[in-house]
Structure 1
Amino acid sequence: MRALVTGGAGFIGSTLVKRLAASPGIAEVRALDDLSTGYRSILAGHEDLLREGSILDADALEDAVRGVDAVVHLAAIPSVPRSIAQPLASHEANATGTLRVLEAARAAGVGQVIVASSSSVYGANPRLPKDEFDWTRPLSPYAVSKLATEGYAIAYGHSYDMTTLAFRFFNVYGPGQAAGHAYAAVIPKFLEAALAGRPVEIHGDGRQSRDFTYVDTVCEVIETALAEQIGSPDPVNLAYGTPTTLLDLLALLEDALGHPVERTHVDSRRGDVRASQADGERVRALFGGVTPVELPEGLAATVDWFRNGGAAGQR
């Protein structure tokens, strides 16, 4: 199999590219990234797989999909706060970009497309845990763009006899997720501050919960989907029903770091949801051979990566 990973120089994308490059079932893997939020250095040892270009560039996209059997579409402008500051850019990259990827794949005769949606699509729905058939009510432009991402993928599967799969990612974390930018995710942001001896900044009371999923678990699920040609007419939550409050997360980080972490509370962020938890049933049913990495183990590996300077080159 020949596979293309869009957003291949990003956090999840680069981890997946390296995993697929070592997979005996993958004859060729390509990474497409415009390096607007990704880093060439994150592909150390695999830089030759990178094709620098945007999914909004028709020529670059046409060249990247030519001859591949599957596309894993991870390219996006991430972050709820970023989308609130720049809604048009988020829409262009995430919604229009997905449509362009799907159309390029269809034109090239690509048989399988996997896309990354987000738990943020549930938005105002208070039910916990959430399954894929619960109603959605996005609270940010980012969440709207991700609902469009999965909707387009599912529609292409129905309309063009293409094998498609839309994963709703829940707070993916792990080595490779840098903190050196304004819209960093919570775990790298906490770690960067703690290792520098600064207080970590908590938005709100810290009792908001997230369903954290280790990046290697995510990539193992995607690799399995490629190997077994798994598709779905409905979205799939890629999380295992392990909600953790930010205060509990800090306690686990203190264990991994071996010392207390000072913290300070600031105002809640607009667009954030209070609680996020998947029921984990469909992902376990479809990918029963995958054993998710537990949060303490994943945090320990992430702390080691930060301590060993892994984030230094991602600025």
Structure 2
Amino acid sequence: MPLYLVTGGCGFIGSHLSAALRARGDGVRVLDDLSTGSLANLAPGAELVRGDVADHAAVRDAIAGVDGIFHLAAIASVERGVQDWPGTHRANLSGTIAMLDAARLRKLPFVYASSAAVYGDQAVLPITEDAPKRPLSAYGADKLGCEQHALVGGLVHGIPSMGFRFFNVFGPRQDPRSPYSGVISIFCDRFSRGEGVDIFGDGGQTRDFVHVSDVVAALLAGMAQASVEAPVLNVCTGRATSVRELAETIAAACGVPAEIRQRPPRAGEIRHSLGDATRLRALLGPGAPRGLRAGLEEVVAWLRVGRPGLVPGSTIR
């Protein structure tokens, strides 16, 4: 069976990807320093190598014998990028270069996470892959740098790759207590505990919320489509949801009144973000993305059950 390396495999998206790989019978090795990931997320039967993606020795050890690399490890916090610019740069861009350099030795297919943060604030919606890139954060700038280095990896070193610009991903295992969590996990947690939520401004700002199962489907398909041309695709639904509509839908899923407290708007917040999913749908074929309401009910159910412990059958070294 093929063996795949998943960096950040104890995190939110990486753990879902690892579980999907194991479910279809593939071997999985996870490289994670557990700075933001959790041992509770390690997929059954997966091997964990504790290490830093920017540590070349740890990376060389982790890729031994693998057939492909899924690179998801990153520090996604915009605030952390402000407070520790060099540190987040090391994890997000230097770490990607270290992984690409390791892939270069055997021309391993390399599928990696980019972000809609590369686009910044766009006047024309929906946002296509060809839209101008105007990152407004260190995180977005580093993700754009990852794309450029993947392109160089293909042109100069023959590394087949494929990148995906994630929009607002949600689903189970997104810890609402973490500063890295999105608005959905926070709203679900608070409404499920009978608490109200805060929205900033009038709540009319919109986002493109994509379920983690659709992200995993894209990543799996991308491994077969990786090429030296280094293509990059949006991962989104092409459907906009306002923050107020989101809060009301989550409250309904929790069976509680939608207690919403309006706060002053936050400076610099992008008003609208909506992706064009045309190229993604061509990659994935027929089938609608996971519906928002069904996905939200899944998150609420997960929060009510509680987080599981370390899965039996996993190994750590």
TM-score by length of 2: 0.91
Structure 2 residue 160 is matched with structure 1 residue 163: yes
Q: 2:220 aligns with which of 219, 223, 227?
A: 223
Distance 2:178 2:192 in 1: 16
Aligned to 1:43: 42
Give the length in aligned residue pairs. 308
| Cα distance in 2, alignment partners of residues 181 and 306 from structure 1 | 14
What is the alpha-carbon distance in structure 2 between the residues aligned to residue 255 and residue 112 of structure 1?
A: 43
Measured after TM superposition, the shift of residue 83 of structure 1 is 1.7
Distance 1:33 1:267, change over 3 A: farther
2:254 to 243, 253, 257: 257
Shift in Å, 1:271: 5.1
Deviation digits for residues 222-263 of structure 1 (CA, Å, limit 9, x no counterpart): 11222x344454320011201111111112112211121312
Counterpart contact for 2:40–2:309, Cα < 8 Å: no
CA shift, 1:57, in A, is 1.5
Residue 290 of structure 1 and its aligned partner are, at CA, apart by 5.1
CA contact (8 A) 2:18 2:43 kept: no
Give the equivalent residue in structure 2 for 1:240: 237
Partner of 1:91: 89
Looking at structure 1, the residues matched to 70 and 180 of structure 2 have their Cα atoms a distance apart, in angstroms, of 24
Q: Which moved more, 1:300-309 or 1:188-197?
A: 188-197
Contact 2:104–2:158 (CA under 8 A) maintained in structure 1: no
Distance 2:271 2:86 in 1: 25
Decide which moves more: 269-278 or 245-254.
Answer: 269-278
Number of the residue aligned with 2:56: 58
Cα contact 2:11–2:37 (8 A) shared by 1: yes
Counterparts of 1:44 and 1:164, CA distance in 2: 24
Indicate if the aligned counterparts of 2:77 and 2:179 stay in contact, CA closer than 8 A: no
Corresponding position of 1:174 = 171
Quick one: structure 1 residues 305 and 139, their matched pair in 2 at CA, closer, same or farther if it must change by over 3 Å? same
Q: Could you tell me which residue of structure 1 aligns to residue 298 of structure 2?
A: 301
| Distance in 1 (alpha carbons) for counterparts of 2:287 and 2:82 | 35
Q: 2:22 corresponds to which residue?
A: 21
Which has the larger displacement, 48-57 or 207-216? 48-57
Change (3 A) 1:271 1:145: farther
Residue of structure 2 equivalent to 1:200: 197
Change (3 A) 1:132 1:44: closer
User: Within 5 Å, which residues of 2 pair with 1:2-151?
Assistant: 2-24=3-25, 26=26, 28-43=27-42, 45-46=44-45, 48-107=46-105, 109-151=106-148
- What is the identity, as a one-letter code, of the residue corresponding to 2:191? A
Q: Match of 1:189, SS?
A: helix
When residues 67 and 92 of structure 1 are mapped into structure 2, their CA distance, relative to the original with a 3 A threshold, is same
* Alpha-carbon distance in 2 for matches of 1:290, 1:221: 13
Letter of the structure 1 residue corresponding to residue 22 of structure 2: A
Tell me the secondary structure at the aligned position of residue 54 of structure 2.
Answer: coil
- Separation in structure 2 between the aligned mates of residue 148 and residue 248 of structure 1, nearest angstrom: 34
Check conservation: 1:170, 1:239, Cα contact below 8 A: yes
Secondary structure at 1:188 match in 2: helix
Of 284, 288, 291, which aligns to 1:287? 284
Q: State which of 171, 184, 189 in structure 1 corresponds to 2:186.
A: 189
Name the SS for the 1:202 alignment partner: strand
Distance in 2 (CA, whole Å) between partners of 1:104 and 1:230 is 16
Structure 1 pair 22/265, CA: closer, same or farther in 2 (3 Å)? same
The answer on whether the counterparts of 1:253 and 1:299 sit within 8 Å (CA) in structure 2 is: yes
Structure 2 gap segments, 5+ residues each: 311-317
2:156 aligned partner, one-letter code: S
The answer to whether the Cα contact below 8 Å between 1:68 and 1:110 also exists between their aligned partners in 2 is no
Give the Cα–Cα distance (whole angstroms) in 1 for the partners of residues 236 and 55 of structure 2.
Answer: 32
Identity %: 39
Distance in 2, Cα, partners of 1:158 & 1:241: 31
Q: 2: CA distance between counterparts of 1:274 and 1:81?
A: 19
Are the structure 2 counterparts of residues 97 and 272 from structure 1 closer, same or farther at C-alpha, using a change threshold of 3 Å? farther
Task: Find the aligned partners of 2:239 and 2:145 in 1 and give their Cα distance.
Answer: 26
Tell me: CA distance 1:148–1:267, structure 2 relative to 1, closer, same or farther (3 Å).
farther
Query: How many angstroms does 1:209 deviate by?
Result: 1.0
TM-score (norm 1): 0.92
Contact 2:196 2:260 in 1 (8 A): yes
The residue matched to 2:124 in structure 1 has which SS? coil
Deviation per CA, 1:40-97, whole angstroms, max 9, x where unpaired?
Answer: 0112634x52111110221111011122121010000012222223222221110111
